[in-house]
Amino acid sequence: MNEISMKAYAKINLCLDVLGKQANGYHQVEMVMQQVDLYDVVTVKCNPMKKKKNDVQITDPIVVTASRNDLPVGETNLAYKAAKLMQETYKQDSEIYIHLEKNIPVAAGLAGGSADGAAVLLALSQLWHLHLELQELMELGVQLGADVPFCIMGQAKKMQNLQLRGKEWASTCAFAEGIGEKLTPLPPLDCLVLLSKPSIDVSTAVVYNGLCLEDIKSHPDTKELILGLKEKNLRKIQKNMINVLETVTLRDYLLVAEMKQYMENFETAYQVLMSGSGPTIFALYTNRKKARLAYINSKKKSNETYLIRTLS
């Protein structure tokens, strides 16, 4: 086998709290992340390395293509970075071809790029028969970004015939600490999710830089939300679904604030929240009829609107 295709799932934040800023500039966070059934399809193919007679490499051994023309596919792409990291770490002499069939909105607070990078790490570990520990791959993933380890553990949960040890860590829901890389598996939420991304992009770095901890009036009780997941108590979950980054994004990006208000005005979801640093707003439903009606209305505001489910 020299080719594998896999689903790279998006995530939402059921809560996101910022506790402070570390000396290295990264923010210390507590959050609960949940994967959803919206995914890119990542295809990875490996061939033996082609070389000239003098043993000089002919071309870049990593090639990334995508279904979206506006997506950068060079060295800044996380799928490219993931392939390069795997090559350098495990000394594999292969040409790597990656194609990204993009369905997750770009720069949306849904970890689409991180999911693609995670899929490449998992795919190459399979194609090269490395038989790694899941946690080893997650520790490698954090070098690419704070969301990548969670994407790895969630995608590992959905993969069949996975050649990774330590699969008990695989989960589609997790409590994240540190910069988001310290993960504890949690029971997943089971509900419908309405996602809608306004027609703007939001920079995560800009949002975090604009965050003033002293101005945050409401923080989630993350422990109580986790207890709600374990007890399947929607009231406890709903009460603590707070994202402190909304204090920046909703203030500075009018379209995001308008989208959240628009979805709240339906008064049919049990909670409406921004995912990550935005701009995507999501609403949680247990009633399919109400969710479908909200989807039809939200689609009028943004083409990038989806009615999906959480992943178990």
Catalytic residues: 11, 147
3-state helix/strand/coil string of 46-80: EEECCECCCCCECCCCEEEEECCCCCCCCCCCHHH
CA separation for the pair 193, 282 (Å, rounded):
7
Contacts of residue 254, Cβ cutoff 8 Å, sequence gap at least 6 = none
Q: How buried is residue 91: exposed, middle or buried, by Cβ count under 10 Å (0-12/13-18/19+)?
A: exposed
Q: Report the first-to-last Cα separation within the chain, whole angstroms.
A: 29
Task: Return the closest-CA partner of residue 87 out of 50, 125, 138.
Answer: 125
3-state helix/strand/coil string of 179-190: CCCEEEECCCCC
| Tokens 């939420």 belong to residue | 189
Contact 262, 198 (CB under 8 A): no
- DSSP label at residue 16: E
Contact 211, 247 (CB under 8 A): yes
Q: How buried is residue 204: exposed, middle or buried, by Cβ count under 10 Å (0-12/13-18/19+)?
A: middle
